Amino acid sequence: MPGLEDFFTYGYQSKEFKVGEKPLKLGVLDAKHFQDALEASASAKDETSKFLEFKKQILARAIMSCDGITYCVAPNKITEEEIKKTLDALEKFHVILINKLYEFYDELDKEVQQNLDNDIKK
């Protein structure tokens, strides 16, 4: 059905990044999964903890694959099991790596925004 559904492609873009020699594929979250990440991070004790938890929750939903291992096929269809598996791995990462991976996600999100801005006819 044409109409609003035509906009769905903006939320389902992905991109591959390199961390050292390892390829990392991230996908942009849709509004529902972004909201889920916000809600999952809301219980942290202070603002700094909330922000770090928010980054981990976003990444747990956005990481599609790393070094040939699939974590989720599509962020818009991710399961709770896939989120938990990825979040468990992220919990062991140094905060610097979490921040860098989140920068990659933010870069992809900005590309999606730029594509949308370019497509809007004024």
What pLDDT score does 11 carry?
60
Residue 121 pLDDT exceeds 50: yes
Looking at the chain, list the stretches that DSSP marks H as alpha helix, in order from N- to C-terminal side: 31-41, 47-62, 80-90, 95-119
Closest Cα to residue 22, out of 88, 69, 86? 69
Number of domains within the chain: 1
Is residue 98 situated within a structural domain?
yes
The whole-chain average pLDDT of the chain stands at: 89
Percent of the chain topping pLDDT 70: 89
Domain coverage including residue 90: 21-113+115-119
Is residue 41 situated within a structural domain?
yes
19-74 tens-digit pLDDT: 999 999 999 998 899 999 999 999 888 888 999 999 999 999 999 999 999 999 88
Is residue 13 situated within a structural domain?
no
Is residue 3 situated within a structural domain?
no
What pLDDT score does 13 carry?
86
Is residue 92 situated within a structural domain?
yes
